[in-house]
């Protein structure tokens, strides 16, 4: 007597047992985790007041300085003098004392003295993380021989 197996019904069902196990494990994990967080805040602590501290409300922005081919300096897209740029950079350092980044984007035709003047303004403002940006050159296509 042979056993007849219906091949159409073998792969048709979806096993729910492993998926239900995973859901229950996740529920237990998040319930225990949320309970631990409540315990951390359950202790009544009076926090000290700081007069000079400022809450960080936003992520520090990268300060971008553009220099056109004539040597005009722009803070973003706003034209500024070197004195005004120094003031803006000092304000940026006051807002983000450790993490302020500056990117200098200079036209390829600009005299080097303009780039050096902007870099000097960065150093005088106390910015250590400044870089000069250059365009990437696309690789040349291979030459057929």
What are the beta bridge partners of residue 102?
63, 130
At residue 38, the pLDDT reads: 58
pTM of the model: 0.54
Rounded to the nearest integer, the mean pLDDT of the chain is 78
CATH of the domain at 96: 3.30.420.270
Task: Determine the structural domain holding residue 77 and report its residue range.
Answer: 63-133
User: What band does 128 get if pLDDT is binned at 50, 70 and 90?
Assistant: confident
Using one digit for the tens of pLDDT, what is the confidence trace for 26-65? 999 888 877 665 555 555 555 566 666 666 555 567 888 8
How many structural domains is the chain composed of? 1
Distance CA 52, CA 65 (A): 29
Count the alpha carbons within 13 Å of 116 in the hemisphere toward its beta carbon: 3
Report the candidate in 124, 127, 113 with the shortest Cα–Cα distance to residue 64: 127
């Amino acid at each position: 007597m042979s056993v007849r197996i219906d091949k159409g019904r073998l792969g048709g069902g979806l096993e729910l047992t492993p998926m239900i196990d995973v859901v229950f494990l996740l529920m237990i994990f998040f319930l225990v985790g949320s309970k631990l967080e409540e315990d951390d805040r359950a202790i009544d602590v009076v926090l000290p007041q700081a007069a000079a501290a400022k809450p960080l409300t936003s992520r520090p922005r990268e300060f971008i300085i553009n220099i056109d081919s004539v040597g005009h300096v722009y803070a973003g897209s706003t034209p500024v003098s070197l004195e005004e740029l120094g003031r803006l950079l000092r304000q940026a350092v006051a807002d983000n004392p450790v993490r302020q980044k500056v990117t200098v984007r200079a036209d390829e035709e600009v005299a080097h003295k303009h780039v050096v003047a902007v870099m000097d303004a960065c150093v005088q403002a106390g910015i250590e993380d400044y870089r000069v940006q250059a365009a990437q050159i696309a690789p040349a296509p291979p030459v057929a021989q």
